[in-house]
Amino acid sequence: MAPKKDKVLMAMSGGIDSTMAAMLLLEQGYELVGVTFRTYDSIKESCLAKDKGCCSIDSIMEAKHMCEKLGFEHHILDFRQTFQDHVIRNFIDEYMQGRTPNPCVLCNSSIKWGELLNMADEFGCSHIATGHYAQVIHEKGHWFLGNAVDTQKDQTYFLWMLTEENLARTLFPLGGFTKQEVRKMALERGFEKLSQKTESQEICFIPDNDYRQFLSDNVDDFDKISKPGDFVNTRGEVVGRHHGFPNYTVGQRKGLGVAFGTPKYVLGIDAAKNSVILGDRDELFTTTLRAKNCRFTSMELLARNNKVLARIRYKSAPIEATVEVNGSVATLTFKESVWGVTPGQSVVLYQNNRVVGGGFIA
């Protein structure tokens, strides 16, 4: 951790986690500069009607108010164009190629750490801090992303793209606490309303959680691209008609629009052929996967020991695997079968409760 009295750029969302992180740093003697960034402005009536902090203007005002109450300056940073170029564009491109992206991973690396570290330099801050549930470990010359104490809230899955340079300048004040402890600390400090605040689980730029409508609203000629096509089985035989491949994701069972007598699942998507592959649930089990655009904290560690715990989605239990690396491509072989490996999602690799690498499932 940085020495006390260092100046820290504190990312404020207006929620309980960033607010409690700020309070803990202030109590430890840090000087804070609060920042909240605009990434996307929703104009959905459904969003305006909800009190979940999903709308950027609401969250900005809440963050500004909290910074004033805690006694440190607050700045609003406009990252909407960068967010559009890096996060939303990727989200759209991935879905239109038949993959299922996780925009939070790119947002963390390109916005929350990429842009915020640049702003930290401008404000004369040595570190940035966020309310994420994770830890930073400095050991034998390397900076690692470590698991949070609260395994139910651990957010390292979304942070695997952070580099050692990023981590060397990062503080995670909540990494050593459970969510229940954080709520209790907020209550003890007189923030009763904040301690009871609920969290939104939605993607920030899709407040109604309807990614299909979002694609329809934001993809040119979406109706022409997302046109009816064939459901096929693993033998390539046509078994029905679908409503356009972007409307489906791997592992999906409900909403297929056809009845087969027994439950069928989406096994894969061929965007080029506008076909969706269906099969039985057991056909979604596999013992291998390939990941691309991988990053590794230390190739020395993996060279000495290629056994890892791998997580293929947020909240999924880590599974033992061996990893073989070829440049930025990794091939994983699992000790036991895993279900629902989804192209476009991240696979994150752990050893000794720390992230040693990750990549995008290909």
Answer whether residue 173 shows pLDDT above 90: yes
Q: What is the mean pLDDT of the chain?
A: 91
Residue 298 tokens, joined: 């230390």
Residue 148 tokens, joined: 């949070």
Higher pLDDT, 47 or 251: 251
Higher pLDDT, 185 or 300: 185
The mean-pLDDT minimum among 42-56, 131-145, 215-229 falls in 42-56
3-state SS, one letter per residue, for 266-287: EEEEECCCCEEEEECHHHHEEE
Could you give the percent of the chain with pLDDT greater than 70? 93
| 244-271 mean pLDDT | 94
| 258-287 mean pLDDT | 95
Could you give the percent of the chain with pLDDT greater than 90? 78
Answer whether residue 17 shows pLDDT above 90: yes
Amino acid 200: pLDDT: 66
How far, in Å, CA of 233 to CA of 169, rounded? 50
DSSP 8-state assignment for residue 2: P
Answer whether residue 1 shows pLDDT above 70: no
Amino acid 138: pLDDT: 94
How many Cα atoms occupy the beta-carbon half-sphere of 138 within 13 Å? Answer: 10
| 152-157 mean pLDDT | 96
Amino acid 345: pLDDT: 97
Amino acid 58: pLDDT: 76
Residue 34 tokens, joined: 């609060």
Answer whether residue 201 shows pLDDT above 90: no
Query: Domain 7-195 is in which class?
Result: alpha beta
Answer whether residue 39 shows pLDDT above 90: no
Answer whether residue 89 shows pLDDT above 50: yes
Tell me if 214 sits within 8 A of 206, measured CB to CB.
Answer: yes
| 302-321 mean pLDDT | 94
Amino acid 191: pLDDT: 87
Amino acid 158: pLDDT: 97
Q: What is the pLDDT of residues 49-83, one digit of tens each?
A: 343 444 457 788 899 999 999 999 999 999 999 99
Amino acid 5: pLDDT: 66
The answer to whether 7-195 and 284-361 have equal CATH topology is: no
b/e 97-126 (16+ beta carbons within 10 angstroms → b): ebbbbbbbbbbbbbbbbbbbbebbeeeebe
Tell me if 242 sits within 8 A of 248, measured CB to CB.
Answer: yes
| 190-202 mean pLDDT | 76
Query: Cα 201 to the chain's mean position, in Å?
Result: 11
Supply φ then ψ for residue 326, to 5 degrees. -135, 90
Q: Which CATH number fits domain 284-361: 3.30.450.20, 2.60.40.10, 3.40.190.10, 2.40.30.10?
A: 2.40.30.10
Answer whether residue 267 shows pLDDT above 90: yes
Q: Which of 322, 318, 287 is nearest to 307 (CA)?
A: 322
Catalogue the active-site residues: 107, 204
Helix or strand holding residue 230 (H, E): strand 229-232
Answer whether residue 182 shows pLDDT above 70: yes
Answer whether residue 216 shows pLDDT above 90: yes
Helix, strand, coil share of the chain (percent; to 5): 30, 30, 40
Query: Domain 227-279 is in which class?
Result: mainly beta
- Where along the chain do its domains lie? 7-195, 227-279, 284-361
Tell me if 347 sits within 8 A of 289, measured CB to CB.
Answer: yes
